[in-house]
Amino acid sequence: MVVESVVALGAGLAAGSLTLMAFGLDSAIELASAGVLIWRLNVELRHGQGFSERAERTASRIGAVLLFTLAAYIIAGAAWSLWTRHGEAFSLPGLIVALLAMPIMALLARRKIAIATQLGSRAMRADAAESITCGWLSLVVVVGLLTDLMLGAWWVDAVTSLVIVGFVVKEAREAWSGEDCCDHD
């Protein structure tokens, strides 16, 4: 995740790509989410089930805030790109990291969901949502970069970045409320 974040953020800055920046930020958010999850599990190990319910709710809400933050960044960045008519430049390193991330994130998300279901953990489900979001963002990055390369359209980056916002907000709302915990893949 660290490598993915650094490469995507560097490539995003170099190419002026909102989708690559969102992808890199999502990787950083996923790292933060994993840290929160480790904290939550540590609370249960040290203090037992009674304390873990409160830690679970806190960890799940932190995951939700991170997802809401990512959605806000994507919306603001897309609006700015469309307003200023600024598009991205093609990025081979960005394309490579996004291509590699798709199967890795799919596998990681499936494992996290299975564990979240076994534990009944909203925090783990929120962390799995981060992996799912990262996987979808990597697909969006690939589609956007290849479409931009083929068409040279300045608006592709902004439009492709908006594709993922609905999913991010849905997952953030579920993590915040604790709804639909661990019931679906």
Domains of the chain: 2-177 (1.20.1510)
DSSP state of 89: P
Going from the C-alpha of 144 to that of each of 19, 73, 78, 181, the distances in angstroms are 8, 18, 13, 31
User: CA-to-CA distance for 67 and 124, rounded, in angstroms?
Assistant: 14
Task: Give tens-digit pLDDT for 2-46.
Answer: 899 999 999 989 988 888 888 888 888 778 878 877 887 787 778
Residue type for 179, please? Answer: E
**92: pLDDT confidence band, cut at 50, 70 and 90?**
very high
> What is the pTM (predicted TM-score) of this model?
0.76
CB atoms within 10 A of CB 118: 10
Residue whose pair of structure tokens reads 């925090």 in the numeric block: 123
CA angle, 125 then 131 then 115, to 5°: 40
